[in-house]
Chain A
């Protein structure tokens, strides 16, 4: 079963807000000068910010803010965020892999940005929605 696709818009302002809330002030997430110096195409989103947005999608699918019991991802490609008002978009889809007798549902998740996969092996276990 496929779950409804969710799309998240990410702008520079979101990265600044996430940096403050998370305490991750790595300049690759706010300085083009620094990001390009270390070989990145530009400022990139925190991997953990992408993971948080996908976590939101999972919790919304589950229908409860406390339903996630296991959640893991691999960061495969950076999400480049241009310095404009439009930013970029992350698209999240998921498929139910298994519903267990213990009241748990396993999800396989796909997150893409500009058609390219930004997370791989993204999986979550949620309490099965009632």
Chain B
């Protein structure tokens, strides 16, 4: 069944803060082969003006993917996640994510459309500190493949 277009514009309650750990950033940077010292060594990051190690550009997905469960598991929306493929992804940064950050996600459904038998769901996640400082805005388009 196609996703209900009346969900467009819906904003979900803020998620519990995600604690960005130094070792998590190091682990992620190592996994993607990002060897710049600023991802691993706090002193190298401080030399660039950051309080602690800097996350690689796509790191926020670790935070937003967990937060998006709110939408994926919304029984009222009724997504079949086993049929979902990732369509588009975009990050617009106010500043890089750094170790020690606490990040709160606010998910909004920006668009739903149905074409060629598939559903297309665009979400925007505003990632901020608990004090409301914007850090990064993340857009994802998920494609729910129709039944063949």
Task: List B residues 78-96 near A (Cβ within 8 Å).
Answer: 82, 85-93, 96
Q: Is A52 an interface residue (CB 8 A)?
A: yes
Interface 0/1 of A51-83, CB less than 8 Å to B:
111011011000011101111111100000000
Q: Is A2 an interface residue (CB 8 A)?
A: no
Q: How large is the interface on B (under 10, 10 to 19, 20 to 34, 35 or more residues)?
A: 20 to 34
Task: List A residues 19-58 near B (Cβ within 8 Å).
Answer: 20-24, 38, 47-49, 51-53, 55-56, 58
Interface of B is mostly: mixed
Given contacts A48-B58, A55-B58, contact A70 B32 (CB under 8 A): no
Bound-complex Cα distance A38 to B80 (A): 14
Given contacts A52-B32, A59-B34, contact A66 B96 (CB under 8 A): yes
Q: Which residues in B have their C-beta under 8 angstroms from that of A72?
A: 88-91, 139
Is the pair B32, A18 in contact by a Cβ cutoff of 8 Å? yes
Is the pair B56, A55 in contact by a Cβ cutoff of 8 Å? yes
Bound-complex Cα distance A21 to B38 (A): 18
Is the pair A48, B91 in contact by a Cβ cutoff of 8 Å? no
Bound-complex Cα distance A70 to B86 (A): 19
A contact set with B: CB distance below 8 Å: 8, 14, 17-18, 20-24, 38, 47-49, 51-53, 55-56, 58-59, 64-66, 68-75, 121
